[in-house]
Structure formats: structure tokens, C-alpha cells
Chain A
Amino acid sequence: MRAGVLERRAAKARRIQESKTDRIFLFGVYILLIGFLLVVLLPLLYIVASSFSSPEAVSAGRVLFWPVDFSLRGYEAVLSNPQVIQGYGNSLFYTVVGTIVSVTLTIAIAYPMSRRTLVGRNVVMSLILFTMLFTGGLIPTYLVVQSLGMLDTRWALIVPQAIGVWQVIIARTYFRTAIPEELVEAAELDGCGDLRFLWSVVIPLAKPMIAVVALMYAILQWNSYFDALIYLKNQDLFPLQLVLRNVLILNTYSGGAMDASVALQRQQLADLLKCSLIVVSSLPVLLIYPFVARYFTKGILIGAVKG
């Protein structure tokens, strides 16, 4: 009986806490978030819907957020474009090889710097951090790449960007916090060398972090076009992003003089092709994204810890 009264009082108190202004405020928060959601989502929906529409509907601007006159013409055009296919292959190569190189080098520098018994690691770290604040600039870097004979080779897209300072910080912080000092000492007492310890204890323990760092490198590599723009002339080596730039932004697809109706058709197909191309090129990243988003978030947070 008394308990019931108390409960009711407690419930009343809770209701008072959640005051009217609070409820209005919460409602506002929902509206705001729905706004954010729509602003991000609608342009994406528009592109996807357009990519599945007919060329005429796209060019006439009749497509909103649902395909009009469903067709796969755009995708046919994308998949029959040899440049796109080659760009895809090249990007895959750069991403896989680049990521392996980057991750290896990152671990090689980050792990020693996480060891407290290593003299000189603070000096090295400062030297590395300084490169975040000050750089030689575009042309001086270009001259280095040139003098190494890397211009117009696949190396130019892999080697000059191999190590990211941010990723080094993430890796070092992780090694420092996840590998207890006692473990290192125990291994030393058992006569386990540093390299063997790294290989058979540290790397298996650091798998989640390595996955995060690898993903960061992979996505950077997949999305980059600037290095290709400055270092490559040979079209056969172009990564997908550079092909995309040529087709999407410079409009190199719809060229050539011809009579009006053909030109119109080509223009329509070019508009459609752009939408389909955007979908096709972003698909791999966006497909894996929901599965890795959680790890990515963790990666940002490790990196946010001041090193």
C-alpha cells in the first residue's frame, strides 16, 4: 500500500523533471536530426535514382528521388568503357600494394617508438611530428620524385605517400597502451628477441588497430587523385579517380562533332553516365563502410589521444 504511494510519487517526480520545455526541446532535436539526415541523404538518393533512369528523363530533369523510366543504360555505358575498367584495376592495385607498404612501414616506425627503453625515440618522434607542421611544398617534393626517376611509374603513387604521421601516432599510442610493460619484461627474461616478440606477440595483439590503420590507408589511396594528376602522364596507369575527373568534371566523354540528334543523344547519355559512374565508383567503399565504421570510430578516438 505505502510502496504504491511512493511509486506514484516517484513517477510524478519523474514527470516533473521531464518538463514541458524539455519535451519541446527534444522534439526540436528530432526535427534537427531529421533535417541533417535528409540533407545528407537526398543528394545521394537523387544520384542513385538518376543512375537507374532513362537518359531522356535525366536530361529533362524529371528525376527526383525515385527512378523514372527504369533503365540500365548508364551502367551498360560505364561497364563498356575501357578507361573505367582499367582505372578500376589500377586503383585496386594501388590500394592493395600501397596499403601493404604503408602498414609495414608504419608498424616498423611506430613499434620501436612505443618502447620505453629505446633511447632517442623522443627525438625521432619530434622529427616526425614536425613534418605535420611544416612541409617543403609541392614543387620541392615533385623534384625529389623526379630525381628518383619515379615520374610516370606506379611507384609515384605508392612510395611518396607511404607513411601518414597520423597513422604513426595511432599505432604508437595503441602499442603503448595495449602491450603491457610486464609482457615485454617477461619476454625478455625468457630470451625472446625484440623482433620475435613483435612478430608473435605484438602484431597478433594489435590486429584491431592494424585493421583500422590499413583501412585508413586503403581509403585514402582509393580516393586520391592528386598524386596521379601531378606524377602520371601515361593514361594506362591512371587510377579510377583520375579517370573519373576526366569523365565527370572535364566532360571528355561527350566530345566530337556530329549532327544535332546524335549530339543530343550523346549529351543525354553523358548525363546519365555520370550518375552511374558515381554509383559504381563509390560502391566498394560504401559497401564495406557499415561493417568497418565502428572500427574507424575507434581509430579516430585512439588518434585523438594526444601523443
Chain B
Amino acid sequence: MTTLTPVRPPAPDVPLGRDRRRRKRERPGIRGLRRSLRRHWTLYLLMVLPLIWFAVFKYIPMSNAVIAFKNYNVVRGIWGSDWIGTRNFELFFANPVFWTLVKNTFLLSFYTVLASFPIAIILALALNEIRVGLFKKTVQLVTYAPYFISTVVVVSMTILVLSPRLGIVNEGLGFFGIPAIDFLGNPDYFRHIYVWSEVWQTAGYSAVIYLAALAGIDPALHEAAKVDGAGRLRRIWHVDLPGIMPTAVIILVLAVGNIMAIGFEKAFLFQNPLNLSQAEIIATYVYKTGLLNADFSMATAVGLFNSVINLFLLLFVNVIAKRVTGNGLWS
């Protein structure tokens, strides 16, 4: 009796086998999706709630932004209100407040980037020069700490410290015979106060990323530079700075991309009737027209203008950064 056992096909050679396994792992298209669904349905189920969240709180607001092109009527709802085209935008651009807002927002953000970007790098480079020890740890811990203080508290601390009546800054100025200055009451000081309180709060935090990048630099480069007779300053210039360049570029791109999204929270807290001429930025204007004056359509139009500029700035800077340094987001 001969038993006919089915003959197995010869084992495929190695490259084919590997190829097959990879295809099994992630096959694109509908069939792959169906297979993956069957295999991982619990994981897909897990994603449902977060995805609903993203749809509701991120994507529906994006579609809600159509009210910028409508005359929003509470009773008729978002989609029932009348289309008015770009009239809100035209009104906004024609409004004399438009240029003030754009100028204030731009200057404030640009100044913030300009001040905080190099200072974080300088702090990180200086900390990196000191190898170990209590001093280094103390400086790091202390400069990092303000990041954890809330905006409300930072703003009120700034107001207290700069107060003409009891603040230490005017106390110090008085010591040199300079009369007290009402910093918060003078619009010309607003930008400096905003930017330097921001630097005060975030420099230590931002330095951490650069410190990590510095720690990742190959020590052999430093040794080689030392052998070549390079001093500390030259080594910073020729080894450290190029070493952190990729990190710095990404941070700069993100910072510039956020230029128009500058913090509502802080500007709003620092505002008072006296400094409004320089303290009113797009974000605070949106809040006031939208929620305080209930002009939803106009506020949305202003906000949309802001978001679009923001997106273009980010893409633009990313392209430039990629051209110049070869680094960028998505590279």
C-alpha cells in the first residue's frame, strides 16, 4: 500500500521568504486593512474614542470656521446662516485696527523668538562648559523652575516686581537716583516686559533640549580640536555650535511657525487701558470681538486669517531651513 502523502512544496529560498513575511506584516490597501482589522480589532476599538475626540474638538471646529464667510445667526445655526462671501475679511482689512493688530502681533512674536532663541543656546553652552558639580545642578534646577509657575502667577509677579510703589526694580532705580517708572502704564515698555518675562520663564526649559544635543556630540571631536590647539571658545564655535545646529533649526522653525499663534494668555493678562495701543494682538482681539461682543463671524474671520498666515509661515520657514541647512521638519 502506498500512501500518497501530499508533497510539500520546496521551502522557498531566503529572500522570497523574507519578502513574504514583510508583505504579511503590512499589506496596504483594502485587503490589508480588512486583514489587519480582523487581527487587531481590539486595538482599532481602542482608537475609536480618541479619534472621535479629534473629530469633534479639532476637525468640527475646522469646518465650523465657515462662519467666517457667513452672517452667523444663532437661531439658524452654522449651516443655516446666510453666506456673505468675504465681506468679514474685507471689513477687517479695511478697519484701521487691522494694521495695528498685525504689527503688534508680529513685533511681539518676532522679538520673543529673537530674544529667547539665542539666550537658551547661550545658557546651554555655558552649562555645558562646567562638567559636573553642585553649582551646575543648582543653576539648572533654578533656571528650569519658572517654567512650572503658571502664567497668571508670572504676570502678577512681574507686575509686583515692576510696580512703581513697591517693586524692587524701582527700588533699585531709586538707589541710583532715577525716579520711579510706571512700567505697566507706559505702552512703550509693554513689549520688553512681555518678552523678558517670557525669557525669564522659559530659558531654562529650552536649554534642556540643547544640553541633550550637546551631550550627544562625539567627545573625540573635542579631543581632536584640543590636540589641534583649540581653546574653549574655538571649540564652542567649531564643535558645539555645528553639533546643535540640527536641533536649533527645528526649534527655530517651530518658533517662527508659532509667530502668529502667540500666547493670548499672557498678553491678555498684561493688558490695561494704558498700554492697549501696543498690547492688543490678534488673539486678544478675537476674544473680545467674539466672546465679549458676540460677533462670532467677524472673530472667526480674524482667527482664520491668523491660522492661515501661521501655516504659511511655518511651511515657508521650513523650506528655507531645509535649503540652507539641510534640516527641517519631515526630513
Binding site for B on A (CB under 8 A): 17, 19, 21-22, 25-26, 29-30, 32-33, 36-37, 39-44, 46-47, 50, 58-61, 63-64, 105-106, 108-109, 111-113, 115-120, 124, 127-128, 131, 133-144, 148, 159-160, 162-163, 193-195, 198, 219, 222-226, 230, 241, 244-245, 248-249, 271, 274-275, 278, 281-282, 285-286, 289-290, 293, 297, 300-301, 304, 306
A36 touches B304 (CB 8 A): no
B62 touches A222 (CB 8 A): no
A140 touches B65 (CB 8 A): yes
User: Interface residues of B toward A: which range?
Assistant: 35 or more
* Bitwise interface map of B from 28 to 48 toward A, beta carbon under 8 Å scored 1, else 0: 100011011101101110110
Q: Could you tell me the distance in whole angstroms from the C-beta of B71 to the nearest C-beta in chain A?
A: 14
B149 touches A286 (CB 8 A): yes
B300 touches A137 (CB 8 A): yes
| Set of chain B residues within 8 Å of A140, measured between Cβ atoms | 60-65, 67, 300, 303
Which segment, of B11-19, B108-116, B124-132, B273-281, faces chain A?
B124-132
Binding site for A on B (CB under 8 A): 25-28, 32-33, 35-37, 39-40, 42-44, 46-47, 49-51, 53-54, 56-65, 67, 78, 122-123, 126-127, 129-130, 135, 138-139, 141-146, 148-153, 155-157, 159-161, 165-168, 170-171, 200, 203-205, 208-209, 212, 226, 231-233, 247, 250, 257, 264-265, 269, 283, 286-287, 290-291, 296, 299-300, 303-304, 306-307, 310-311, 314, 329
B290 touches A46 (CB 8 A): no
Q: Could you tell me the distance in whole angstroms from the C-beta of B5 to the nearest C-beta in chain A?
A: 27
Distance between Cα atoms of A141 and B299 in the complex (Å): 12
B60 touches A119 (CB 8 A): no
A225 touches B290 (CB 8 A): no
Q: Could you tell me the distance in whole angstroms from the C-beta of A45 to the nearest C-beta in chain B?
A: 10
Interface centre among B36, B60, B168, B304 (most CB of A within 10 A): B168
In the complex, what residue of chain B is closest to A244 when comparing beta carbons?
Answer: B152
Q: Could you tell me the distance in whole angstroms from the C-beta of A290 to the nearest C-beta in chain B?
A: 6
